[in-house]
Amino acid sequence: MSTPRFALIGHPVAHSLSPRIHAEFARQTGIAMEYGLIDATAERFDAALAEFAAAGGAGANVTLPHKARAATVCNHLSDRARRCGVVNTLIRTATGWDGDNTDGLGLVRDLTDRHGQDLRGRRVLLIGAGGVAHGVAPALLDAGISGLVIVNRTDSRTDALADLLGEPARVHPRNFTDLHTLGVFDLIINATSIGHASDGGELPLPNSLIAPRGDVVDLGYGEAAIGFLAWARACGADQLIDGLGMLVEQAAESFKCWHGVRPDADAIYAELRAESGSPAAMA
């Protein structure tokens, strides 16, 4: 009997830590699996997924730029995938693909369980309205935040995410040009490349956004998060958190979707954190 095959599909994916994370989960649980990387452009996504399925693919993680497209190829979406409109976890069934999204639960688990955050009643700024932002926004609302302000470079995408969430009393789409009028936030989450080396520009953010004892999260990790977290540190943020914890927590939830058991993410998190250093140290 062949070993079940899993993969991460995205573009690019060569840098991904997912194979290492899932190898640790497989070792920990004693579950046999292969986990590889599939680099596919947007134009190649459907064909690459079909080829993977034909070769015996049992499940996949989906990353940029395919999360929205992945939702459209599924026969069935979980409640949380339907609510956020994007998919990061595919499960092969006898009739095709089922879709789920574990990003939001992964983020909330990292913030609350690992970093001791109490999200209830907090005013949150979410920078970005792409696939990752879609994945985390519903979970933040479910965690009890008092308000979510979403800003993005493209107004139509910001409005679309706000409409999808369907909570006008708590969710407020805004433009970057509004930021200096929006007051301060207890938690700021960067779900874009702003502040990353690839973004190539100065941060288009006022220095007065962070409330006293306010915290900042960049959903990137490693070198990608250094610029944004350095800005946050200079602005007086309390906790500086990168996306490494979310990465391992969402992976653990995906593993549970495929195998019915949730592995312990702490060991691989500690290993990867020791190698990369703490966000505060990097900033």
What is residue 105's three-state secondary structure?
helix
- Residue 67 designated active-site: yes
Q: Are 84 and 164 in contact (CB under 8 A)?
A: yes
250 is in an annotated binding site: yes
Catalytic residue among 67, 122, 123, 134: 67
What is the DSSP secondary-structure string of 60-104? EEE-TT-HHHHHHT-SEE-HHHHHHS--SEEEEETTEEEEE--HH
78 is in an annotated binding site: no
131 is in an annotated binding site: yes
93 is in an annotated binding site: no
The position carrying tokens 């970093």 is: 115
Question: In the chain, what is the greatest distance between 2 CA atoms, to the nearest angstrom?
Answer: 61
242 is in an annotated binding site: no
219 is in an annotated binding site: yes
262 is in an annotated binding site: no
Please choose, from the candidates 123, 90, 132, 122, the residue with its C-alpha nearest in 3D space to the C-alpha of residue 246.
Answer: 132
- Whole-angstrom Cα distance, residue 157 to residue 150? 10
16 is in an annotated binding site: yes
Q: Read off the tokens for 238.
A: 């309390």
75 is in an annotated binding site: no
Q: What residues are designated binding site? A: 16-18, 63, 79, 88, 103, 128-132, 152-157, 219, 221, 243, 250
Name the binding residues for shikimate: 16-18, 63, 88, 103, 221, 250
Residues forming the annotated binding site for NADP(+)? Answer: 79, 128-132, 152-157, 219, 243
Catalytic residues: 67
